[in-house]
Amino acid sequence: MSFKREGQINKFMFENYDLSLRRFWMIKAYTIASGKGGTGKTTVTANLGTALAQHGRETCIVDTDVGMANLGLVLGLAETPITLHEVLAGTASIRDAMYEGPYGLKVVPCGLSLQGFQNANPERLTDVMCDLTDRCEFLLLDAPAGIGTDGVIPLTVADEVLLVVNPEISSIVDALKIKILTETVGGTIGGAILNRAILEETEMSRRKIEKTLDVSIIDTVPEDANVRRAAAAKTPVVVGAPGSESSKAFRRIAAKLAGIPVEAEPHKVQEGFVERFARALFRREP
């Protein structure tokens, strides 16, 4: 880490530590992070958020990847006029950037334009998070990949950072960097999620990752074609293919985060028109 970067991080830490969500007891905030891109952060955020909402928990998910946003895309919210970009630019309030997802999940997408990115001030994120504390029980932040300055802020504001790791060495090594960075800036690692696991290799991957990272694996989400099909249909897999192995894994993890017995199934009666419509669309995918 260069001296300049270290200085920036420490400055951020001292200026913002008091505003950290850790002082709010009524909300549990998780940042979903990885070093390497494409490990499944957005997929995990969308599905854990939906599974928590299915359990009747007031949940908000936020795309904090201000440069390369895609949470809105996988939930069919690509055309939203006001996003986190405008909130971080100081021209809109978080309430204006909040949209409804499946099962009443609250979604704050981020804009896609370069202009919006340039106008956004990522340091406003801490204030935005504070505004969200009285609106939900669970807050999930979809973090940018890598160790850029924009990515540091989500690592510090959450109660816990959950690392999304794939069973490949580059993903594990990059997750280690995020772990070290998180601890350097005063954040807390809550565990790792092994995503895109190949069934036969799961046990070996788990052991290797836990040993390398010195972090326990919360659970394993298998490689599952239903995940990609659901993303193409702009719906989370827990809605599009609730019986799939990946959906079961996402529901298990959500239950653990919420302290709900893992066997407890979400209230099926809560499925409304939007969810039925999403499942119908999903079935039409090739």
Total number of residues that touch Mg ion (CB under 5 A): 3
Choosing among Mg ion, ligand ATP, none, which partner's interface includes residue 145 (Cβ < 5 to 8 Å by kind)?
ligand ATP
227 is a contact residue toward ligand ATP (CB under 6 A): yes
Report the nearest approach of ligand ATP to the CB of residue 148 (Å).
12
Out of 16, 20, 34, 83, which residue is the one contacting ligand ATP (CB under 6 A)? 34
Binding mask 70-109 for ligand ATP (x = CB under 6 A): x---------------------------------------
31 is a contact residue toward ligand ATP (CB under 6 A): no
Report the nearest approach of ligand ATP to the CB of residue 4 (Å).
25
Q: Name the segment binding Mg ion (CB under 5 A); options: 21-29, 67-75, 106-114, 240-248.
A: 67-75
Helices 125-132 and 149-157: crossing angle in degrees, nearest 10, is 30
Report the nearest approach of ligand ATP to the CB of residue 71 (Å).
8
Q: How many CB atoms within 10 Å of residue 240?
A: 26
Choosing among ligand ATP, Mg ion, none, which partner's interface includes residue 223 (Cβ < 5 to 8 Å by kind)?
ligand ATP
SS (H, E, C) 72-133: HHHCCCCCCCCCHHHHHHCCCCHHHHCEECHHHCEEECCCCCHHHHHHCCHHHHHHHHHHHC
Nearer to ligand ATP, 56 or 67 (CB): 67
Nearer to Mg ion, 46 or 129 (CB): 46
Give the C-alpha separation, 114 to 25, whole Å: 36
User: Which residues, numbered 69-88, are part of the site for Mg ion (CB under 5 A)?
Assistant: 70
Give the C-alpha separation, 56 to 54, whole Å: 5
42 is a contact residue toward Mg ion (CB under 5 A): yes
Strand order across the beta sheet in which 106-108 lies: 99-100, 106-108, 59-63, 138-142, 28-33, 160-165, 189-197, 217-222
Report the nearest approach of ligand ATP to the CB of residue 250 (Å).
9
8 Å CB contact between 110 and 83: yes
Token digits of residue 46:
């969308």
What are the E-state strand segments in the chain? 28-33, 59-63, 99-100, 106-108, 138-142, 160-165, 189-197, 217-222
Q: Which 8-state DSSP code applies to residue 185? A: T
Query: What is the binding site for ligand ATP (CB under 6 A)?
Result: 34, 37-43, 65, 68, 70, 145, 195-196, 221, 223-224, 227-228, 231, 246
Query: What is the binding site for Mg ion (CB under 5 A)?
Result: 41-42, 70
